[in-house]
Amino acid sequence: PQTETPQLPGIFNEAFSSERWKEGAPTRWVIWLNAMEMIRQHKMLGVGPGNFCYVYPSMHTGFLPNDPNYLRYQGLYTNAAHNELLQTWAELGPVGALLLLGMIFYAFRSMARVVQASKREEKNPPHFVRLDGWIAWGGIGALTVLCGAGMMSFPLQLPSSTLLFFALLPLGEMLGEPERDEDGYRMPPLVLEGEWATHTLYLRGMSRVVGVGTSLQLPRAFAGAALALGLVIFCGWSWSAVRPMRADVHYHKGRQLEQMGNKVEAEKEFLAALTIYPNHHDCRSHYTDFLLNQKRYADCLPQLQKVFERLNTCELYARRATAWEALGHLDKAARDMQTYRKMVPSAGGSAF
């Protein structure tokens, strides 16, 4: 006889009972509590853009539960706050957090207005369907998903989701039409022409300014030179800005090769990543562990020293202690192990 199909668990039961959730939930609680401690210590200006992961290991919140499942993550390195609002607040202060919330609120508001306007116009003859309303609904859905992911992860540190986020912010304004008066008449803009610039005012009812625009009128030769200079600066900045992403490609390829057992090619990829972007501390930190596992202790120490220039995490002290001990420098190994145990009291006598 045919056996009955077993009842599969619900999607939420399956998700919250998974090993990934059991491992990730306490990790995020520790990160979020320490991020709040960072905000408390740097109330006004934050720690600066891009500095969260470097300051984070020194944070020790007093609200962490006295539970080994939580304490074992204290002092460890993390690449992000896993919450975009907390990370923005910690790095840029309350002004940065308010600006982020303001941009998101304005984007939702402008797209909601497009949806409402499309519904009103669909009720009037000739009863055609407004595509901009459906596009706005799609934008609202996409931005909602991004905001939800941003509460648990770091989408604004990934190039693709960051590009999507900034493409969604002006979507409502791009779809919306200039506002009309109550009688349906659209006011023409007021143009103020000067010698070097033209200013445009968009009015409602001849009394309220609802938009302002400015355009420069430069001599052709000067405008061409300024455009060329701007292109050179933009290209140089773009090339510099994509270096971390290019290095990431080599780094992740090296991780894959390492998992496949191809140590030689993996090391080539790690070195290529560090050549392109020497400040790729994730890659350099992993490279020290890579060298340590291969018992190349003398090669590991200089790389560790470079990582210590920006990071000060407990696992680095444990690795350096292992390297010092293997090379016979027992006094240096003992000092690093003592520092490690101070940073991670729950570690006991072992660094691993």
Kindly write down the DSSP assignment for every residue of 114-155, as one continuous string: HHHHHHHHHTSTT----HHHHHHHHHHHHHHHHHHHHTTS-G
Q: What is the pLDDT of residue 344?
A: 74
Q: Which of 52-61, 125-134, 156-165, 171-180 shows the lowest mean pLDDT across its residues?
A: 125-134
Two structure tokens written together for 38: 């960072």
| pLDDT confidence band for 191 (50 / 70 / 90) | confident
Strands (E) located in the chain: 190-193, 197-204, 208-216
Q: How confident is the prediction for the chain on average, in pLDDT?
A: 83
Asked whether the predicted pLDDT for residue 128 surpasses 60, the reply is no
What domains can you pick out in the chain, each with its CATH number? 1-177 (no CATH), 247-347 (1.25.40.10)
CA distance 163 to 167: 6
DSSP state of 216: E
Residues 6+ apart with CB under 8 A from 171: 107, 110, 111, 135, 136, 139
Query: Strand 197-204 vs strand 208-216: parallel, antiparallel, or unpaired?
Result: antiparallel
DSSP state of 209: E
Asked whether the predicted pLDDT for residue 3 surpasses 70, the reply is no
Query: Strand 190-193 vs strand 208-216: parallel, antiparallel, or unpaired?
Result: unpaired
CA distance 121 to 128: 8
CA distance 36 to 225: 48
Asked whether the predicted pLDDT for residue 127 surpasses 90, the reply is no
**pLDDT digit string (tens) for 224-279?**
888 899 999 988 888 887 888 889 899 999 999 999 999 999 999 999 999 999 98
**pLDDT digit string (tens) for 316-343?**
999 999 999 999 999 999 999 999 888 7
Two structure tokens written together for 45: 């200006």
**pLDDT digit string (tens) for 20-36?**
556 677 888 889 999 99
Q: What is the pLDDT of residue 101?
A: 95
CA distance 141 to 295: 51
| pLDDT confidence band for 7 (50 / 70 / 90) | low
Q: What is the pLDDT of residue 221?
A: 83
**Cβ atoms 87, 78 nearer than 8 A:** no
Q: What is the pLDDT of residue 350?
A: 47
Q: What is the pLDDT of residue 204?
A: 66
Query: Percentage of the chain with pLDDT > 70?
Result: 83
Asked whether the predicted pLDDT for residue 123 surpasses 80, the reply is no
User: Whole-model pTM?
Assistant: 0.68
